[in-house]
Amino acid sequence: MTFIYRKHAIQRMFEREITEDEVENTVKEGDIIEAYLDDKPYPSFLALKYYDRPLHVVFAKNVENDEVIVITAYYPDKEKWCENFKKRVKE
């Protein structure tokens, strides 16, 4: 599996002090909490994994070429997510 990082993802990871290892482990071992199967050109997903705090990674998957395209990574805001960070708070 090859990881491709979009410019936006690299910028946000740097700003938020999120490592490549954390992102890649979240994609490989985390829970998929949302799936956007109609996204183009590839379906995308939101994954969650806990470290010292919860981490969300948004990525697309190009199955044909065995590529993961990392779109962004962030620490979810507890005001916008339920207690377990798996569901959005309804506004």
* Residue matched to tokens 């482990």: 25
CATH topology assigned to domain 2-74? YaeB-like fold (3.30.2310)
Across residues 54-77, what is the average pLDDT?
A: 97
User: Is the whole model's pTM more than 0.75, yes or no?
Assistant: yes
Nearest-CA neighbor of 47 among 66, 79, 72? 72
Per-domain residue ranges of the chain: 2-74
Of the candidates 69, 60, 18, which has an alpha carbon nearest to the alpha carbon of residue 39?
A: 60
Q: Using one digit for the tens of pLDDT, what is the confidence trace for 25-62?
A: 999 999 999 999 999 999 999 999 999 999 999 999 99
Looking at the chain, the whole-number percentage of residues with pLDDT higher than 70 is 99
Which pLDDT does position 65 carry in this prediction?
96
Mean pLDDT of 16-32: 98
Rounded Cα distance between 5 and 72, Å, is 8
How far is residue 87's CA from residue 22's CA, in Å, rounded to a whole number? Answer: 21
The helix/strand/coil state of 85 is coil
